[in-house]
């Protein structure tokens, strides 16, 4: 068994919690290695070595602190303002805002006859995207949430792992809740409760409402952001970009990953460099094989990974998923 825990960091984290409830997950962004994980209050695992006695088992099960619940991977919490950077990216990527788009924040946003308040009475004045992120201006993010709509928000932030298990090799990981109209129809039984109301989208924009994610999901999302969109899955999971199919364009020995919504090209500039001519041969059809070096921002992010083209023209390897572009598109793509 190989552990990635940094014992010094783990001790610092546990000491910092003291007697408080909560969870902490620290990841190495480039690899996804778990450096520290805390769930408090915890319990003494030595109680289970020779079989736990009934009194101790009863105490653990009936404790109001729920020490058997691993909050780091199973606790579900609203992300709050930590979701705002992802909403900002969605607004940029989908053309709803520019970095210089400004509003005058009076301290609230009116929608459907309801006043959605900012946390600062009187508002933040003139706010652009940079100031909105620095000051965590609620009013600013209410507006792009409304303009984007729930479907776009759910699709975009879902690419960062929200509402999906990370795949860490620890039992009991929760999926979380990535709100969408489909989720609401599945979750509620009464027709009146199944309907998604536009006003509910406003709160989604500041990480409230039905949003509910685990600390490890949040850590992985932040790690992906820190790595310019290259997701290093928790545990031993290797993925490129957001883990979604993309297109490989073989030009002069360089393969450029083009995400389905251009996220990788425009926001991440993720590039996959092939060894020799293998990538160009791989685009020829089924059975072709090669090795890929994954690079982001010019820095090597992964060791070479073998792949092969299946009968559907897809190059697949342990989470890497590429589709060669048709010749007509390849010649016109820059």
pLDDT tens, residue by residue, 46-69: 888 888 889 889 999 999 989 999
Cα–Cα distance, 114 to 121 (Å, whole number): 17
Q: What is the set of active-site residues?
A: 81
pLDDT band at 179 (very low <50, low <70, confident <90, very high): very high
Tell whether omega for the bond before 41 is within 30 degrees of 0, i.e. cis. Answer: yes
176 contacts: CB under 8 Å, gap ≥ 6 = 76, 162, 163, 164, 212, 213, 214, 217
Residue 169 · residue 139 · CB < 8 Å: no
Tabulate helix, strand, coil % of the chain (nearest 5): 35, 20, 45
Token digits of residue 166: 């990370």
What angle is formed at CA 281 by the lines to CA 275 and CA 286, rounded to 5 degrees?
125
Is 212 or 1 the better-scoring residue by pLDDT?
A: 212
Domains of the chain: 1-79+150-238 (3.40.710.10), 246-332 (no CATH)
pLDDT band at 326 (very low <50, low <70, confident <90, very high): very low
Q: Which phi and psi (to 5°) does residue 135 adopt?
A: -90, -5
What does 275-325 look like in DSSP terms, one character per residue?
Answer: STTHHHHHTT-TT-EEEEEEEETTEE-S--EEEEE-TTS-EEETTEEEEEP
Three-class secondary structure of residue 162 per DSSP: coil
pLDDT tens, residue by residue, 195-247: 999 999 999 999 999 999 999 999 999 998 888 777 764 333 332 222 233 33
pLDDT tens, residue by residue, 100-113: 999 999 999 999 99
- Residue 160 scores a pLDDT above 60: yes
Percent of the chain whose pLDDT exceeds 90: 51
Q: Residue 319: what pLDDT?
A: 38
Enter the pTM of the model.
0.69
What angle is formed at CA 326 by the lines to CA 322 and CA 327, rounded to 5 degrees?
125
163: Cα separation from own chain's centroid: 8
Residue 274 · residue 280 · CB < 8 Å: yes
15 contacts: CB under 8 Å, gap ≥ 6 = none
End-to-end CA, the chain: 45
Q: What is the average per-residue pLDDT within 293-314? A: 38
Cα–Cα distance, 280 to 324 (Å, whole number): 10
Closest CA relative to residue 320, chosen from 294, 286, 295, 297: 294
Cα–Cα distance, 222 to 157 (Å, whole number): 12
Task: For the chain, give the number of residues.
Answer: 334
Residue 105 · residue 140 · CB < 8 Å: yes
């Amino acid at each position: 068994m190989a552990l990635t825990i940094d014992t010094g960091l783990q001790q610092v984290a546990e000491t910092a919690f003291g007697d408080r409830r909560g969870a902490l997950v620290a990841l190495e962004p480039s690899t996804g290695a778990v450096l520290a994980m805390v769930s408090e209050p915890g319990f003494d695992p030595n109680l289970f070595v020779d079989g736990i006695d009934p009194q101790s088992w009863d105490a653990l099960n009936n404790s109001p602190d729920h020490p058997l619940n691993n909050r780091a991977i199973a606790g579900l919490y609203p992300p709050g303002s930590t979701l705002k950077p992802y909403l900002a990216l969605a607004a940029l990527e989908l053309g709803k805002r520019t970095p210089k788009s400004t509003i005058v924040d009076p301290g609230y946003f009116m929608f459907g006859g309801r006043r959605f308040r900012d946390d600062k009475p009187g508002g933040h004045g003139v706010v652009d995207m940079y100031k909105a992120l620095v000051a965590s201006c609620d009013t600013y993010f209410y507006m792009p949430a409304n303009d984007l709509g729930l479907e776009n928000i759910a699709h975009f932030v879902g690419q960062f792992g929200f509402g999906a298990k990370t795949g860490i090799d620890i039992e009991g990981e929760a999926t979380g809740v990535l709100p969408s109209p489909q989720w609401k129809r599945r979750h509620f039984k009464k027709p009146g409760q199944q309907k998604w109301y536009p006003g509910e989208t406003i709160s989604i924009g500041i990480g409230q409402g039905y949003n509910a994610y685990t600390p490890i999901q949040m850590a992985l999302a932040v790690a992906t952001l820190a790595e310019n969109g290259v997701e290093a899955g928790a545990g031993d999971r290797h993925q490129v970009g957001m883990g979604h199919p993309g297109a490989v364009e073989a030009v002069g020995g360089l393969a450029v990953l083009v995400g389905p919504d251009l996220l990788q090209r425009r926001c991440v500039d993720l590039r996959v460099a092939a060894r020799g001519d293998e990538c160009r041969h791989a685009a020829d059809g089924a059975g072709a094989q090669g090795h890929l070096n994954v690079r982001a921002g010019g820095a090597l992010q992964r060791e070479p990974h073998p792949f092969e083209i299946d009968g559907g023209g897809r190059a697949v390897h342990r989470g890497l998923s590429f589709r060669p572009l048709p010749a007509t598109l390849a010649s016109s793509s820059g």
